[in-house]
């Protein structure tokens, strides 16, 4: 029930259109009803018609010799008029009948304003009498001097009397609105199918797909939206291409001077005998290695973002991990970190070898880098059901809870004020891992953050 009310409170375009339709229908019907009632107030149908007058005049002429019977019939007639008018027995709220003969009143409804006298026959007139305003019309018999006057109240109450007596105008609105809700909802849902097609196409896209929308509706409003969206995607694509080209060019340009620097420093080491100078040169080489790895990561990131089909092939994951652990053994030895590898049998997966190498290097290198000296890094690969699990564990400090969501952010590190930066998300974590996920390669999932398990 709570979910139902939450869904009901959530604004929707369909509901907004339905409410607009219902309000428009109600407004139009109210305007129509107001017009009908206003016309009735200006010219009450009971006064404008002649049949009632002719009937009463005929009755008066034929029963002139029986005044008691005539008055009894007129009393019944007056009661019937008031029931049909809808104002009840209150003379201030209902119609009244006045019959004159030889200018003398021979019958008057109970409470009828006796001072109401029309100056023109057959015309509706507004007359002030007994402290109120009345609308009346008088017709004279063509066979005698009998006159019939019908009087209705002309104040503001008359509007509500007509509204009450003409309830059949309001009833269709009250009956139709509930039954129109479902047809209105269904018609709107059908009309919004082109819109839903565009939404489905956008929702099925990956974050890397910036190509124009293929679903181009014929409807003018949706076509304008799709055209604007495609124009925006084109601008984003152009900006992304410029960024990719710049990073790729910069990375390529940096490889040559970094390689030349390393060669020169290594050559210089053979001519230096001082331990302090040797330590300085070794630091330069380490910095050069980190810069070279960063350049390689940039190149890998650019390669992974190229929107072309990458050839997937079977890769011996167990052998590949052993090769990468052997390549990283000098780094582990330098930090006196022990590397251990566990695997039952040779595990094969389908993927891109270069990206898997980068992913494995990133995981093991980070584990070695953030493990304490004399620590141990364990690498375990195994087949579980129809999937492959690679787990790298270390004794490092782990990742703070508030930084866990930033693991896959490129080049994000902890506070810049730290003396030693700890990189939380690196180029390989983003481009290598994210790219492998998009291409159905192994997924990078951290199982125990606090103790350095990945």
For 115-132, what is each residue's pLDDT tens digit?
788 888 888 888 888 777
- Top pLDDT among 263 and 180 is at 263
User: If you write DSSP's letter for every residue of 212-253 in order, what string do you get?
Assistant: PPS---SSHHHHHHHHHHHHHHHHHHHHHHHHHHHHHHHHHH
Mean of pLDDT values over 352-366 = 85
More confident position, 173 or 199: 199
Segment among 36-40, 229-233, 430-434 with least mean pLDDT: 430-434
pLDDT, tens only, 147-184 = 999 888 876 556 666 555 555 566 666 677 777 777 87
pLDDT at residue 304, rounded to an integer? 64
For residues 43-75, b (16+ Cβ closer than 10 Å) or e, as one string?
A: ebebbeeeebbeebbebbeebeeeeeebeebbe
Q: pLDDT: is 360 or 296 the higher one?
A: 360
Structural contact between residues 210 and 232, judged by C-beta atoms closer than 8 angstroms: no
As a whole number of angstroms, the distance between CA 353 and CA 390 comes to 15
102 — phi, psi (to 5°)? 60, 40
Beta bridge partners, 389, equal 382
Average model confidence (pLDDT) across the chain:
78
| Mean pLDDT of the region 343-370 | 86
Q: What is the mean pLDDT of residues 204-208?
A: 80
The values of phi and psi at residue 151, to 5°, are: -125, 130
CA 156 – CA 159 distance, rounded (Å): 6
Gap between the Cα atoms of 344 and 356, Å rounded? 20
| Residue 310, pLDDT score | 61
424 and 413 in contact (C-beta within 8 Å)?
yes
In this predicted model, which residue has the larger pLDDT, 14 or 231?
231
Read off the pLDDT of residues 287-345 as tens digits, 9 standing for 90 and up.
988 888 888 878 777 766 654 446 788 999 999 999 999 988 988 888 899 999 998 78
Is the model's pLDDT at 92 over the cut of 80?
A: no
In this predicted structure, what is the pLDDT of residue 252?
Answer: 84
Q: Mean pLDDT throughout 367-376? A: 88
Distance of CA 325 to the CA centre of its chain: 50
Query: Is pLDDT at 348 greater than 60 in this prediction?
Result: yes
| Whole-number Å distance between alpha carbons of 104 and 201 | 87
pLDDT, tens digit (0-9, with 9 covering 90-100), for 387-444: 888 999 888 777 777 777 777 666 565 544 343 444 444 434 433 443 344 444 444 4
Q: Long-range pairs for 4-8 at CB < 8 Å and ≥24 separation? A: none
């Amino acid at each position: 029930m709570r979910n139902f009310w939450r869904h009901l409170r959530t604004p929707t375009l369909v509901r907004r259109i339905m409410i607009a339709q219902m309000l428009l229908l109600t407004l139009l019907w109210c305007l129509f009803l107001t017009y009908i009632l206003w016309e009735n107030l200006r010219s009450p149908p009971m006064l404008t018609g002649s049949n009632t007058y002719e009937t009463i005049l005929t009755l008066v002429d034929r029963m002139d010799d029986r005044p008691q019977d005539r008055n009894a019939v007129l009393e019944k007639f007056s009661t019937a008029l008031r029931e049909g008018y809808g104002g009840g027995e209150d003379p201030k709220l209902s119609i009244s009948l006045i019959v004159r003969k030889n200018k003398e009143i021979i019958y008057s409804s109970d409470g009828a304003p006796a001072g109401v006298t029309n100056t023109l026959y057959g015309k509706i007139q507004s007359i002030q009498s007994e402290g109120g305003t009345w609308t009346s019309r008088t017709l004279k018999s063509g066979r005698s001097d009998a006159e019939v006057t019908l009087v209705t109240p002309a104040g503001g109450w008359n509007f509500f009397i007509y509204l009450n007596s003409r309830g059949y105008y309001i009833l269709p609105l009250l009956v139709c609105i509930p039954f129109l809700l479902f047809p209105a909802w269904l018609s709107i849902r059908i009309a919004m199918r082109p819109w839903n097609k565009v939404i489905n196409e956008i929702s099925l896209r990956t974050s890397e797909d910036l190509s124009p929308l293929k679903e181009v509706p014929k409807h003018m409003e949706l076509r304008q939206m799709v055209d604007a969206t495609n124009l925006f995607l084109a601008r984003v694509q152009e900006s992304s291409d410029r960024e990719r080209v710049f990073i790729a060019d910069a990375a390529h340009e940096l490889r040559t001077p970094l390689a030349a620097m390393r060669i020169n420093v290594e050559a210089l080491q053979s001519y230096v005998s001082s331990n302090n100078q040797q330590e300085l040169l070794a630091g330069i080489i380490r910095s050069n290695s980190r810069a070279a790895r960063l350049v390689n990561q940039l190149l890998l990131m650019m390669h992974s973002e190229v929107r072309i089909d990458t050839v997937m092939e079977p890769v011996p994951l167990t052998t590949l991990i052993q090769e990468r652990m052997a390549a990283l053994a000098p780094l582990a030895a330098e930090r006196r970190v022990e590397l251990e590898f566990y695997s039952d049998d040779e595990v094969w997966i389908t993927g891109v070898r270069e990206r898997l190498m980068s992913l494995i290097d990133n995981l093991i290198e980070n584990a070695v880098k953030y493990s304490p000296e004399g620590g141990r890094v364990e690498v375990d690969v195994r087949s579980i059901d129809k999937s492959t699990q690679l787990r790298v564990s270390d004794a490092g400090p782990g990742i703070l809870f508030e930084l866990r969501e930033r693991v896959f952010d490129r080049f994000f590190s902890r506070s810049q004020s730290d003396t030693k930066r700890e990189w939380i998300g690196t180029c390989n974590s983003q481009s290598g891992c994210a790219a492998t996920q998009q291409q159905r390669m192994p997924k990078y999932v951290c199982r125990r953050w606090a103790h350095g398990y990945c």
